[in-house]
Structure 1
Amino acid sequence: MNLAVFRDIVVNGEPIPSTAIAAEAQNHSAPRNKPGVAWRKAAQALIIRALLLQEALRRGLTAEPEELSPGRVETEEEALIRVLLDEALKIEPVSEAAVHAEWARRPERYRSPPLWDVSHILCACDPRDEAARTAAEARAKTLLTRLDGDAKGFAEVARESDCGSKTAGGHLGQFGPGDTVPEFEAAIRDLPEGGVSPAPVLSRHGWHILRLNAIAPGQVLPYDTVRPRIAEALEKAAWARASRDFVARLSDEAEISGASLAPV
């Protein structure tokens, strides 16, 4: 990235070096071949940090870094920003009425995880080995053309699977979200009940032909069960709104050159 094409950024007389923005940009996503998007996101993040630290200094705040997790302790700047936000943001407790109203808006959103009953045929390979991957894919495609689409036909072809489940017609049993590799789960979610994957699916284990035998949709959970989750979500949303408003006020009162906090 050519740092010379970007203007210097100054927040209330405090410069933010291009090198700092370039380093921060590594933490922000951007469309391919558009590094300027990551740069602007990084610049905004550092502008906000500068505004918050300047406000903490203005208020004469001090803070002791806290342990966030085993082996992870706040930096002094993170601690100062935490103390500032704790002092500046006044969040009203979420009322029972607000929690209930959010739940009542669409109770069907709050369900137990679904269960999928799945069978598969595995053509095993190491995906990192190009030759093995190509050969296994060709074999999987050949097997796929032999399927009738029904469970009996699938079980017959599954005898040629490289998975131990071949003795049970490829049947893997039931599992839910997070019980298998992500690429496997994503493909299952796209299948209708009784459907077979239209093309082999690659995972770290090789190529899979998948069949969704049945699905048990998650059950709608009672209000008392989901109430803590809803209350927490509403509290986080209120905190996020308050913090955005606080930063906006600091920005309105600040002198910022070289960038803005306008949405990227």
Structure 2
Amino acid sequence: MTVSTYNPADHTTNNAHGNNHHHHVAHHSAATSRIPMSHDEDIVRVMPTLADLKKPHSDKAFIEKAMAEERSNHSNLIASSRDELPSVSVNGVMIDRTAIAQELQYHPAENKEDAVFLATQALVVRELLRLAVLNEPSLGTTAWDNDEEQAISALIEKNVTATTPDMATCERYYQQNMADYKTDPIMSVRHILLACLPEDGDERLTLKKSAYALIEQIKNDTNPNAAFIQLAQQHSACPSKEQGGELGVVNKGQTVPEFENTLFKLEAGLAPSPIESRYGFHIVEVLDKKPGVQMTYEQVSPAIHNKLSQQAFHQSLCDYLFMLADEADIEGIEMTLEQENVFRG
């Protein structure tokens, strides 16, 4: 692969979603279908259900997580200035800048440079696949003109093969990843919320000290149970204060991630430290915890087989795209073809 590049030092590319072909990619979105609220709807401000994850902060968190998983590489976005789209060609054919601008909507990123790189790379991959279809005797121009998506599917089916994992491979994967195949614990929880907006740093510092003071007050009381209930009624900003702070049974996926990540690591009893979330500080007591159960290999073997089969296919697809890129004369972009950013499906 020939790569002719000019690399401005201040251009950054975090390749979060990768070579998404315009017709084949499942464009990511953090939005989910609305789930009906339960009778606990009145506490949703503190303990959001999946329906609340439709809100804008969820999209932002999704994008940030995806971006964090990728390596930062400042060298592969090529443009003559921050205000221009890159000049990229495949075998002498320029990638249309209007197409790049239109493709941007499918590639959320933290900044313009990242989005431009992802969109441009996706169109380069599409052009590589188009050329491969034209050069495939069983497909050719007619197949491409009739149905581009079907032509690419046929091309991939013909040229991308993956080894099906055998039983020994699946069993070995299970033994190495047993923790991933446990049922989630079930928690019965109560809390006191000292509420504060995320951006109010001074207020948060004050509330954190107050939260620790309340924890000490509960611990040192001759009747900690009564003290928790009384303090919840006096100080909690959550409607659950009317029930002494009780949230009932909490399952994974029902709360915001920053609360849940700490909560499910706790054992039964009063947590020694408050849990900070976007809502403020939570003084938490785990009233009951039923630990998760380890699932057997027999129970999860179909899922493992499917997972490893998909990984093998995606790696083979990545290898095929790399071969196409290596054989082409690509100017203006340094391709980053890796399994985690090749389009799925």
TM-score normalised by length of structure 1: 0.74
| Number of aligned positions between the proteins | 243
1:229 Cα deviation from its structure 2 partner: 1.3
Check whether the contact 1:123–1:137 (CA below 8 A) recurs between aligned residues.
no
Shift in Å, 1:29: 4.8
- Please state how far the C-alpha of 1:235 moved relative to its aligned partner: 0.6
Match of 2:215 among 135, 147, 164: 147
What is the correspondence of 1:143-222 to structure 2 with a 5 Å cutoff? 145-148=213-216, 149-150=218-219, 152=225, 153-160=227-234, 161=236, 163=238, 165-189=240-264, 194-195=270-271, 198=274, 201-203=277-279, 207=280, 209-213=282-286, 214-222=288-296
Give the match for residue 134 of structure 2. Answer: 57
Whole-angstrom distance in 2 between the partners of 1:140 and 1:102 = 43
Deviation at 1:158? 1.1
Is 1:227 matched up with 2:293? no
Report if the CA contact (8 A) 2:128-2:325 is conserved.
Answer: yes
Q: Aligned letter for 1:220?
A: Q
**C-alpha offsets along residues 57-99 of structure 1, whole Å, 9 cap, x if unaligned?**
322263899xxxxxxxxxx433332222122212232222221
- Residues 160-219 of structure 1: CA deviation (Å, up to 9, x unaligned): 34545335421222221112344543452465653165365334xxx5624141543322
Counterpart residue number, 1:83: 154
Residue 3 of structure 1 aligns with an amino acid whose one-letter code is E
Q: Which residue of 2 aligns with 1:121?
A: 192
CA contact (8 A) 2:232 2:241 kept: yes
**Matched-pair contact (CA < 8 Å) for 2:259–2:276:** no
Alpha carbons of structure 1 residues 21 and 189: separation in structure 2 relative to 1, 3 Å: farther
Tell me the distance in 2 between the aligned counterparts of 1:94 and 1:192: 38
Q: Aligned letter for 1:201?
A: S
What is the CA deviation profile of residues 93-123 of structure 1, one whole-angstrom value per residue up to 9, with x for unaligned ones? 2222221121123423311112222212246
What is the root-mean-square deviation in Å for CA atoms of aligned residues?
A: 3.6
Distance 1:239 1:263, change over 3 A: closer
Q: Secondary structure at the match of 2:328?
A: coil
CA distance in 2, matches of 1:212, 1:80: 58
| One-letter identity of the residue aligned with 1:101 | R
Partner-residue secondary structure (3-state), 2:154: helix
CA displacement 1:9-60 (0-9 Å, x = unmatched)? 111233212232233344335455xx33332232222211111122123222
Question: Are 2:207 and 2:281, in contact at CA under 8 Å, matched by a contact in 1?
Answer: no
CA distance in 2, matches of 1:40, 1:87: 29
Structure 2 counterpart of 1:17: 96
Pair 63,254 (structure 1): closer, same or farther in 2 beyond 3 Å: closer
Kept after mapping to 2: 8 A contact 1:21/1:39: yes
Quick check: 1:256 aligned with 2:335? no
In 2, the alpha carbon distance for the partners of 1:198 and 1:135 equals 15
**Aligned ranges 1:104-115 → 2 under 5 Å:** 104-115=175-186
- Provide the rounded CA distance (Å) in 2 between the counterparts of 1:231 and 1:107: 15
Quick one: percent identity of the two aligned structures?
29
Q: Secondary structure at the match of 2:278?
A: strand
- Does the aligned pair in 1 maintain the 2:185–2:264 contact within 8 Å? no
Structure 1 pair 190/218, CA: closer, same or farther in 2 (3 Å)? closer
| Partners of 1:118 and 1:210 within 8 A in 2 | no
Match of 1:3 in 2: 84
Letter in 1 for 2:84: L
- Give the match's secondary structure for 1:146: helix
* Compared CA separation, residues 64 and 221, structure 1 to 2 (3 A): farther
Structure number with higher strand proportion: 1
- Pairing partner for 2:106 from 27, 40, 44: 27
Alpha-carbon distance between aligned partners in 2 of 1:249 and 1:239, rounded to the nearest angstrom: 15
Q: Is the 8 A contact 1:115 1:217 kept in 2?
A: yes
Which protein, 1 or 2, shows the higher relative CO under an 8 Å CA cutoff with sep ≥ 6? 2
Q: Determine the C-alpha separation between the residues in 1 that align with 2:176 and 2:94.
A: 48
Unaligned ranges ≥5, structure 1: 66-75
Mapped partners of 1:46, 1:217: distance in 2: 48
Unpaired runs of 5+ in structure 2?
Answer: 1-81, 339-345
1:241 to 302, 306, 315: 315
